[in-house]
Structure 1
């Protein structure tokens, strides 16, 4: 059965209903303490419209399903979802007048352009001689956002909870978010260190007010978050100068992404407050990562982050990510506490606390071997175990090459893209990105053949220059078996063929000083041996 196009009935909706906790504008912390004005009288004036939209006759006889959230009422009929803004005023929004609701409806369409034809437009409810009508010529008495109705079981939070969210879906989501962020306009008036302090204060204030027993925990988290923020002041300023603070989605949790065909489509971007959505790009992504991590899917969170960084090359922005994840976890805790879900709130607050305590130790790990030897599979298995939170950053040479050529990772490139000069450029790019990530304080896993001794020497030299440990692991697999594996691949970033593997095998001598692992075994056994060699924590 079709379900509504809505996303604010989830965890983030609870956050807004409990006092938002994610605004970041300095004055909002004070407004939060003053409380919200709910505007019941305004909502009473919408009763006639609500009755009209609840009537199947308004929708050609189709049955109507009504869904109420804290800021909207949705009427689901046939293949349409009609969103009515509730006539309320709070410390973070004002829908109290018809003009304001119209502007908000139009803004919602504007900020959700990336959702394609999911949003159909703004439609008035008009007063006609015979009564109310949808989109009639009479005077508007209300304004609605018209959307296509979709199956809510395809929202990514539901797919994740059902065990149906896959690696390819997450990688496509990373590409979507990267494209969304590239297109987002800079927001230089937001996101300075003062805004981040106020955001932390607001989150803590909302958590403290969520119910008895949360005040001490909120105060403790606030102090730790403030302490984690202060050393980042210079980087925060630099990122604003570089244009990394942009008008983002603002509410990019998994419930606000739906799988339409093969495309994960973000929808329900924040429209009612620019301060909420005008944030650091990695703070926008942090909500998606936190959603995955608190659901126990560190593997998918690691894949999302690595793929996103491969598209954006924003490795230098990683130092604030633990704080951003902590802030997102604290918002989730506040939302859960506000609705009485104490166990969930404690889990999310524990996650927020870990984000401030745990730090990755920079290290460089290189995985080499012929194409088909299992390097990418091993990288995905190891990376979540080599660092806390979202794990080590994976940089794959095949993906880097495609990005350099302006292609999607799964697109095939012509043979000319694999000449010696192109190989040198790819090596330079992955070494540069690895160095940026190491300097940002995280662990890095490099996935490439590393057949060239000069390439291997370059990596070791980079590690020495950065003062970090270097480990090389060589996956040893007979050429015939590797060739059979690559011939079975579909939709992969590698363009290798059996012929390519044969040429590689002719010069694939295990490097001196690298640990050699027999790769013809099940992937789990290979990963377990590599983890022991590297001293990685249990998966």
Structure 2
């Protein structure tokens, strides 16, 4: 039976809907999901969304990707991701969480993490310690080492960047960001001029299945080891990347928040513990590419967002493009 999303949301907003009987429920809407926070747990309901890069439009698809989210996130946060639970319809109208009846949707059930230990919060409060960054570097080094190395040749690796940069170029042009053209063209030129660097990364087995969305708000320094949540579950292709690229992405996001020194130090510590020191200009390419991509993704949301949020999206995108410009200039310094 097809139950409207607003009915599901209304049910999940009521504390009595949950088996642990919380005192209150807080709902957070993201681009692709609703997250319901109770006193101790979080319950994530995927939106019935469909885009060129994902399809959550059916109950079966949402069940599959909930299971993927559980499986993939247990790699870096095994005690946080608890289960996938059904939202069921009992009789003709009674909704039940993880109860008898027809399964009309599925949720990822998680333990809530202490917000005061999240990386973005520690940065904002100036409480981040170097030992924490080093512990994260070790966790990621072991994570990448445990994953299967991807058997890609250099051309295959470079072709994926080429396609993504061309997509960035088209989108930024269509949305009126003319400065994106020069950035993308410089990245394409670097990709060809330094093809040997990309080929060497692929040959050395540095292409791995990573997290895919390594941002400060996804890192928690809860003892005894750092945990990383909310990986990119809907596309294995986008999780396949150079481990140094993913480390650089976290550094970029730290800089975007205003903490460039923390990002720089994390990259240094990761290079030390992983014994992986790519050419500095290659890291600049990764940083420039990631910043340009983030700008494009923000701007693409304008088409589906209320006009009231357009200025904020454009300001955020402009900030990423500013960062991309700085890294592009460094990338071209050789």
Distance 1:233 1:52, change over 3 A: same
Using the alignment, how far apart are the partners of 1:189 and 1:46 within structure 2?
42
Match of 1:340 in 2: 311
Using the alignment, how far apart are the partners of 1:138 and 1:237 within structure 2?
54
Note if contact 2:281-2:330 (Cα within 8 Å) is conserved in structure 1.
no
Could you say what the CA RMSD is over the residues aligned between the two structures, in angstroms? 2.5
Superposition map of 1:22-37 within 5 A: none
Please report how far the alpha carbon of residue 296 of structure 1 lies from its aligned counterpart in structure 2 after TM superposition.
Answer: 4.4
Please report how far the alpha carbon of residue 90 of structure 1 lies from its aligned counterpart in structure 2 after TM superposition.
Answer: 0.6
Note if contact 2:119-2:219 (Cα within 8 Å) is conserved in structure 1.
yes
Note if contact 2:88-2:105 (Cα within 8 Å) is conserved in structure 1.
yes
Which of 264, 287, 302 is residue 325 of structure 1 equivalent to?
287
Distance 1:92 1:189, change over 3 A: farther
Match of 1:199 in 2: 164
Match of 1:284 in 2: 246
Match of 2:306 in 1: none
Q: SS at 1:192's partner residue? A: helix
Match of 2:305 in 1: none
Note if contact 2:282-2:331 (Cα within 8 Å) is conserved in structure 1.
no
1:92-144, Cα deviation, whole Å (9 max, x unpaired): 11001111111100000111121121111111112224822222233311111
Q: SS at 2:86's partner residue? A: strand
Q: SS at 2:185's partner residue? A: helix
1:348-387, Cα deviation, whole Å (9 max, x unpaired): 21221121221599xxxxxxxxxxxxxxxxxxxxxxxxxx
Please report how far the alpha carbon of residue 323 of structure 1 lies from its aligned counterpart in structure 2 after TM superposition.
Answer: 0.5
Which of 42, 66, 77 is residue 105 of structure 1 equivalent to?
66
Distance 1:360 1:88, change over 3 A: closer
Which of 23, 36, 41 is residue 80 of structure 1 equivalent to?
41
Please report how far the alpha carbon of residue 54 of structure 1 lies from its aligned counterpart in structure 2 after TM superposition.
Answer: 1.6
**TM-score with structure 2 setting the length:** 0.86
Please report how far the alpha carbon of residue 316 of structure 1 lies from its aligned counterpart in structure 2 after TM superposition.
Answer: 4.1
Q: SS at 2:328's partner residue? A: helix
Q: SS at 1:349's partner residue? A: helix
Match of 1:186 in 2: 149
Q: SS at 2:100's partner residue? A: coil
Please report how far the alpha carbon of residue 335 of structure 1 lies from its aligned counterpart in structure 2 after TM superposition.
Answer: 5.0
Distance 1:75 1:227, change over 3 A: same
Distance 1:170 1:206, change over 3 A: farther
Note if contact 1:207-1:334 (Cα within 8 Å) is conserved in structure 2.
yes
Please report how far the alpha carbon of residue 57 of structure 1 lies from its aligned counterpart in structure 2 after TM superposition.
Answer: 1.2
Using the alignment, how far apart are the partners of 2:259 and 2:6 within structure 1?
44
Q: SS at 1:358's partner residue? A: helix
Note if contact 2:118-2:221 (Cα within 8 Å) is conserved in structure 1.
yes
Q: Larger deviation: 92-101 or 121-130? A: 121-130
Radius of gyration: which is bigger? 1
Distance 1:346 1:49, change over 3 A: closer
Q: SS at 1:126's partner residue? A: strand
Please report how far the alpha carbon of residue 340 of structure 1 lies from its aligned counterpart in structure 2 after TM superposition.
Answer: 2.3
Match of 2:95 in 1: 132
Which of 233, 247, 254 is residue 209 of structure 2 equivalent to?
247
Which of 141, 152, 159 is residue 115 of structure 2 equivalent to?
152
Q: SS at 1:224's partner residue? A: helix
Distance 1:347 1:87, change over 3 A: closer
Match of 1:141 in 2: 104
Using the alignment, how far apart are the partners of 2:278 and 2:23 within structure 1?
53
Q: SS at 2:78's partner residue? A: helix
